[in-house]
Structure 1
Amino acid sequence: MLRQICFAVALLTAASAHADEISVAVAANFASPMQKIAAEFEKDSGHTIVASFGSTGKFYAQIKAGAPFEVLFAADDETSARLEKEGDGVAGSRFTYAIGKLVLWSRKEGFVDDRGEVLRKSDFQHLALPNPKLAPYGAAGIQTLQALGLLDRLQSKFVTAENISQTYQFVASGNAELGFVALSQVYKAGRIAEGSGWIVPPKLHAPIRQDVLLLTRGKGRSGPAALLKYLRGDKARSIIKSFGYE
């Protein structure tokens, strides 16, 4: 019996010795899915994820300045491609983990109609969106307004947030009557869970392809490699789809 216990302890010790703590930079729109994926991944693999959430533009600057991230979950496909080209990412490791959806959202029931006509009525004082220079969802919001011919008319109403999380807070707190946020932030059980919203047709903006990249600091480590592999599995993909991503 003692021998069996010692053998079990040895196995656990060996497993923990091979477990990595993975430093991950995650686009703010993907915070909720990442938290669920991390919980499942940690149970299944034994590795631990330490995630930082923020704007993709700021993460790019931090990585270039030497921030110790090992994996980047970007909110676009351009930033990861740029880092890979510049030698900050492992060549061939990049792939699209999700395609985001933009939604015009208000915490008020019935305020946003299902065609976005509220934008033409201009019956509001503030329209929140993330900084389009740093956040792809902000750029998609600008493209949507341009496609609708409303950019010049509504520009004076903009409340520009640092990232998509802050944009959500502006609208949720009532500081802005409505705003462009990620569908994943307000989506639950197959619908917009609270308030009212218009899911922006993809034809009105460039596709929000979100790429993941193994950064050079994560090269050769088992944890980051296991995480990228896990993302392609059915469990992770099911979680991603449950938040409204394609």
Structure 2
Amino acid sequence: MTILRRAPALAIALLTATALHAGQVRVAVAANLGAPMQRIASDFGWATGHEAVVALGSTGRLYAQMRGGAPFEVLLAADQEVTSRVERDGLAVPGSRFTYAVGRLVLWSLDPNGVDGQGNVLKRAPHGRLAVADPLLAPYGMAANQTLVRLGVLPAWQTSLLQGESVAQAYQFVATGSATLGFIALSQVMSEGRISRGSAWIVPSQLHDPLRQEAVLLNAGRSNPAATALMDYLKTEPARAVLRAYGYEVPKP
């Protein structure tokens, strides 16, 4: 049973009007946002009466689906590039996109002693496989590739990489033992400000391009009150608090 947290009265007051016309919104969500989006969707439903129907995937794959006619109404991407591209393609409401969170990349292992606090394990001879997301489809995969390049260790690890389509698949490779280490999103292994299991190195942000994650209202959601309500809800303190609990940096509103 899911226990819903009560949103502050102010947030409820801002969103009560939409509850009178409750509806459904179809949301394309970057894979790194899976766990926090479950909580946000539940709280959004409680606060507004609307239902968020979530489809998870790599940002690149979700973009391809939108180009193919997938009826998404809101996109929560893992970067700014795709939301900008969606807007240029005429698939989104101009001026609607905004940064809802800044993600953090981590090197993670199920072994409590598998990753040291400085990531020096990457500078030793490879032992086992290193899981990464596809850099052509997933911004977290691109950030992982940039990190390996800037550390000067990509050639050493090149033949040990185990590539998944999304950061969710990279996580599964490590969680199931197919890989010893993996570059994943901090949100996948953090809850309430703590690493839930294993060991992790939070990659310094200067080792890769910023993971500025943007939301954009798609054309299909332009006249859907549930879609605009979700865009508004992402800016409220209850939603921002959930994102912070999963390790995201949240820009000031």
Match of 2:9 in 1: none
CA deviation after TM superposition for structure 1 residue 110, in Å: 0.8
Match of 1:134 in 2: 137
Match of 1:194 in 2: 197
Match of 1:53 in 2: 56
Q: Which amino acid aligns with 1:226?
A: A
Match of 2:151 in 1: 148
Distance 2:24 2:222 in 1: 14
Distance 1:17 1:50 in 2: 19
Match of 2:225 in 1: 222
Q: Deviations over 1:127-168 (max 9, x none)?
A: 000001000000000000111001111111000011111111
Normalising by the residue count of structure 2, what TM-score does the alignment of the two structures yield? 0.90
Distance 1:20 1:123 in 2: 51
Distance 1:139 1:16 in 2: 40
Distance 2:75 2:223 in 1: 16
Match of 1:109 in 2: 112
Pick aligned residue for 2:213 from 189, 210, 225: 210
- Identity in percent: 50
Distance 1:188 1:54 in 2: 21
Pick aligned residue for 1:177 from 165, 180, 204: 180
Q: Unaligned stretches of 5+ in structure 1?
A: 1-14
Q: Which amino acid aligns with 2:48?
A: S
Q: Which amino acid aligns with 1:178?
A: L
CA deviation after TM superposition for structure 1 residue 17, in Å: 7.3
Normalising by the residue count of structure 1, what TM-score does the alignment of the two structures yield? 0.92
Q: CA RMSD in A?
A: 1.3
Q: Deviations over 1:3-32 (max 9, x none)?
A: xxxxxxxxxxxx877211100000010011
Report SS of the residue matched to 2:244: helix
Q: Deviations over 1:21-63 (max 9, x none)?
A: 1000000100111110000000110111110000110111110
* Structure 2 contact 25–224 (Cα < 8 Å) conserved: no
Is 2:125 the counterpart of 1:119? no
CA deviation after TM superposition for structure 1 residue 124, in Å: 1.2
Match of 1:234 in 2: 237
CA deviation after TM superposition for structure 1 residue 189, in Å: 2.8
Match of 1:18 in 2: 21
Distance 2:19 2:33 in 1: 28
Q: Deviations over 1:43-101 (max 9, x none)?
A: 11011111000011011111011100000000111000110111100001000011000
Match of 1:95 in 2: 98
Match of 1:38 in 2: 41
Distance 2:204 2:244 in 1: 18
Pick the structure with greater CA Rg. 1
Aligned residue pairs, count: 233
Report SS of the residue matched to 1:125: coil
CA deviation after TM superposition for structure 1 residue 190, in Å: 1.7
Q: Unaligned stretches of 5+ in structure 2?
A: 1-17
